[in-house]
A and B are shown apart, each in its own frame.
Chain A
Amino acid sequence: MPRAVVLNSVSKAACGGGTFADTLSANSGDSASIPNLQSGQGKIMSMWGIDSDSVAELALTAGRVESIHDPQYGVRFNIPSTAAGGAGTNAAFPLIAAPNYLDVFTGDTLTFTVTTTNGDDVLVSWLTEYQDLPGVQASFANWASVQANRFTEIGVRCAPVASSTIGAYGTARAANADDTRWTGGRWYAIVGFTTQLVVTTISFKGPMWGNFRFGGPAGTPQLATDNYFLDLQLKYPNENLIPVFNGYDAGNVLLEVADGEASTNAKVDIIAVECKNNPAAG
């Protein structure tokens, strides 16, 4: 069964404002549509978002009542953007956090409408797990397997910058662009990351994850991101959620940042356990 865990984002810069008057659009390379799944089902494991200027309320709707209660407002989420230091200082608030989740089904399209203020910028990202996505064999491990293969630990700097278009992903930056200490032939399990500035979304992408994005938030309430993927895996004990790559592929591991502000340089340090053998195998 080809399994995948995929990060998607939707955003809108310069919203018109009003009661659920703005609909967010998928970022470049992302989609709000659920692909054709062999098992017919997937689940949103984590979701976060920001309005960079003022408080907002999001309504997430879809076609299936088994997924989201109704097509009127579905699941409504508040985004308390003016809390904790004021607007523009938070970057991301949790909307769905493990172990809770939302089921999604083949052929559905998620719709995000938002109540916000004229001129605001809104960005929402989420991680969806597909148990059986044809054509993908993503490389993820669990913590027990990473521990069993552990050799040492490394933190590696990578400095992707968010787009000058608020909410969009900036230019992709290779994991070895700023720090080349990855070792070819060794396997790296990314347990999390740290940042110097808060940002809404950090994305990792590479052929070892089916060329789909994987990633997490780095907002004020979620700044304990050094173990983000490890913590997510521990909350889903039966799922492999720690991304793994070989040091030879470091140049193909691409980081991107999407943020509620323009051109943010989050200065990411990737925290990884170095393994002699592939912890994602078997």
Chain B
Amino acid sequence: MPDYTHPTVTLHGHHVPEEHRTVNTDGTVEVVQLPGVFQIWAEIEGQHKQLMEFKAGKLISKIEAARESSGTSPSPQ
């Protein structure tokens, strides 16, 4: 029988943005910031286990839109 050893587990969200680099034919480098991915992690007795990951673009834009409409500032990262 499995024991419910950890009835309460803390979840963390990690936004992992990304840089996309393009080296142009003239040697210049173009760097574009991409939304990257959002990860959901569980913390179990100090150990961290990633549960899932999804693309961050839509989530981030919805959060930003909600903040703009409510006039709130970003939450601490």
Contact = CB atoms under 8 A, between A and B. Distances in A.
Interface of A: 52-53, 85-86, 88-89, 159, 161, 164, 166, 173, 177, 197, 259, 261-265
Interface of B: 18, 20, 22-23, 32, 34-35, 37, 52, 54-55, 57-58, 61
Given A89-B52, A161-B32, A197-B37, A177 B61 contact: no
Given A161-B32, A161-B34, A177-B22, A262 B61 contact: yes
B25 to A, nearest CB: 9
Contact of A88 (B23, B35, B58, B61): B58
29 contacts: A52-B58, A53-B58, A86-B54, A88-B54, A88-B55, A88-B58, A89-B52, A89-B54, A159-B20, A161-B20, A161-B32, A161-B34, A164-B57, A173-B22, A177-B22, A177-B23, A197-B37, A197-B55, A259-B55, A261-B58, A262-B35, A262-B57, A262-B58, A262-B61, A263-B34, A263-B35, A263-B57, A265-B18, A265-B34
Q: Is the interface of B mostly helix, strand, loop or mixed?
A: strand
Contacts of A264: 55, 57
A195 to B, nearest CB: 12
Please list the 5 inter-chain residue pairs (A to B) with the smallest Cβ-Cβ separation, ordered nearest first. Answer: A262-B57, A261-B55, A261-B57, A263-B34, A88-B54
A167 to B, nearest CB: 12
A52, A159, A264 pick with most chain B CB within 10 angstroms: A264
A209 to B, nearest CB: 23
Given A161-B34, A197-B37, A85 B52 contact: yes
Nearest to B33: A263
Nearest to A264: B55
- Centre residue among A85, A86, A88, A89 by max chain B CB count within 10 A: A88
Given A166-B58, A264-B57, 5 more contacts: A89-B52, A261-B55, A261-B57, A262-B61, A264-B55
